[in-house]
Homo-oligomer: A and B are copies of this chain.
Amino acid sequence: MSTLNGAQSLIRTLVDSGVDVCFSNPGTSEMHFVAALDSVPEMRGVLALFEGVVTGAADGYARVAGKPAATLLHLGPGLGNGLANLHNARRAHTPVVNVIGDHATYHKQYDAPLESDIDAIAGTLEGWVRRSGHTKDVGADAAAAVAAAQDAPGRVATLILPADASWGEGGETCEPIPPRVPQTVDATTVQKIADVLRSGEPVALLVGGSACHEAGLRATSRIAAATGAKALAETFPARLERGAGLPNIERLGYLAEQAKYQLDGIKHLIVAGTRAPVSFFAYPGMPSELTPEGADVHVLATAGQDVAAALEAVAALVAADTEPVLQEAGRPELPSGPITVQNWVDVIGALLPENAIIVDEANTSGLMLPAATAGAPRHDVLTLTGGAIGYGMPVAVGAAIAAPRRPVINLESDGSAMYTISALWTQARENLDVTTVVLNNNAYAILRMELQRVGASGDGPRAKDLLDIGRPDLDFVKIAEGMGVPATRATTAEELAEQFRRAVAEPGPHLIDVAVPPLL
């Protein structure tokens, strides 16, 4: 005899399936879910004040934990608020299990004020969407959602939970469903790629997804060292392992101009765990595809396949006796003087703690970051996979909850920070070890650059004004303190170094507001 309601069967099944963190911003239709948290103590509910924080945290959590968190969202508007960071999660192939409360089934016909087409909004994420029709199905739907989220290469799974399915009695838990594991790349493909690498013609090997972790990077480095192929990592990896003792694989540039330079002269582009690169945006008179004209694209492995194993299989053929080239330890000197685009990254490179997780949304201010941190102690870098800004602070929340013993360093630009700023409050509430460094240049600096790059006719004062966010200046020290996060301001490299050192050493969140000059 079951004594569970739908919400209880849902939470119990999620926990049994390994999902034991739920980032939440609930409303009335989710109240039975909230009440059920007390009956399943293994589930940790983490409150956020805005849904973009909820979904970004779930993205960051899974990128680090390697398994999904759940979200709890309130009808269509809640999903809408969370959509931008779910877009980034989708592009990262991050497994996420959304639970979205909806009106009771019988109530939907009345078109109450909060009624909207949740299914259609969720459908745009091109993941998995299901609506629980009955209380007794909720457990099975939850297990299916967890499996769907984790089916290789990972996706956003959305379970829409009508209030009456949640509050109804007769909930049944469901055994975990094993997700689809990555497919092995066949030997013929491996052989063909080996042949390309041995062709004697210029080759680039572009790796992404899970190939950006240690095993894939080592195999990539061996292949490059043995064959002379140029090794590149995708522009925006979900999680890139790097630092001293790991191969340092250069990332493909964000700007098409950079990428074209990196790929110049190649005749073959091998892709593994990613696709042939395209320009982030279109620009008048510029091609969308970044692969040089006339070069052939060869797919070693798609994101849903076992990319690292495929690279290792290729390495076994072409680089059997070759070791990977590993980055030596080395840090920049601690700089001095007023903050510049160069010296702030040198401070980070000089002081980056062991085993850090860098959440990078520094945008234009971070151009020099990869070089400055290349020889720092081993660390992970999480990047903005989908281009929807406002990902950094929430992802830092999730990363810190997934890895409570690792320091999380969120390098954040001022414009991007303001989309999801209330993530700071959750960092304070959960006492997370996140050090946020806000690069405050009072501008949408990337748009100043883009205004020129798209060849926009005229850059008059009214256009420029719309890219200037320094009227009034944002004071991130006050904003952070207002949400319970201790904060300081740095205008020199010395101040930044001293404040960064202290922030990393002290438990709990800290923010440093860094006055950095704009790139343009």
Contact = CB atoms under 8 A, between A and B. Distances in A.
Given A45-B466, A447-B31, A458-B39, A81 B419 contact: yes
A163 interface: yes
B469 A47 contact: yes
A92 to B, nearest CB: 10
B278 A112 contact: yes
Contacts of A484: 472-475
What range describes how many residues of A lie at the interface?
A: 35 or more
A164 B483 contact: no
A49 B451 contact: no
Given A478-B478, A479-B478, A49 B469 contact: yes
A38 B460 contact: yes
A264 to B, nearest CB: 20
Contacts of A35: 451, 456-460, 463
Contacts of A463: 34-35, 37-38
A100 to B, nearest CB: 13
B167 A455 contact: yes
A471 B49 CA distance: 12
A427 to B, nearest CB: 10
Interface in A335-367: none
Contacts of A111: 278
B80 A474 contact: no
A505 interface: no
A276 B45 CA distance: 38
A520 B205 CA distance: 62
A422 interface: yes
Interface in A18-52: 24, 26-29, 31-32, 34-39, 41, 45, 47, 49-50, 52
Contact of A472 (B77, B113, B429, B459): B429
A2 interface: no
Contacts of A469: 47, 49
A84 B59 CA distance: 21
A459 B37 CA distance: 9
A281 B117 CA distance: 16
A320 interface: no
Contacts of A461: 38
A80 B481 CA distance: 29
A123 B81 CA distance: 16
A418 interface: yes
Interface string A394-429: 000000000000000000000100110110010011
A261 interface: no
Contacts of A26: 447, 466-467
Given A110-B289, A472-B429, A476-B482, A456 B422 contact: no
Contact of A479 (B31, B78, B460, B479): B479
A421 B87 CA distance: 22
Nearest to A117: B124
Contact of A451 (B31, B236, B478, B479): B31
Given A83-B77, A447-B26, A112 B281 contact: yes
Given A26-B447, A106-B282, A451-B34, A419 B112 contact: no
Contacts of A104: 281-282
Contacts of A460: 35, 37-39
A294 interface: no
Contacts of A450: 27-28, 31
B483 A474 contact: yes
Contacts of A280: 28, 112-114
Contacts of A78: 84
A388 B39 CA distance: 29
A308 to B, nearest CB: 23
Contact of A387 (B91, B114, B278): B114
A8 to B, nearest CB: 8
A81, A110, A465, A481 interface centre (most CB from chain B within 10 Å)? A81
A41 to B, nearest CB: 7
A124 B457 contact: no
A284 B479 CA distance: 41
A49 B472 CA distance: 12
B482 A478 contact: yes
A456 B166 CA distance: 10
The 3 closest A-B pairs by CB, nearest first: A38-B460, A80-B83, A472-B484
18 contacts: A26-B447, A31-B456, A34-B463, A35-B463, A36-B457, A37-B460, A37-B466, A38-B458, A45-B465, A50-B390, A81-B390, A106-B288, A110-B278, A111-B278, A164-B282, A421-B421, A428-B472, A472-B483
Given A37-B462, A52-B81, A77-B387, 7 more contacts: A38-B459, A41-B462, A47-B469, A114-B280, A116-B124, A418-B422, A425-B472
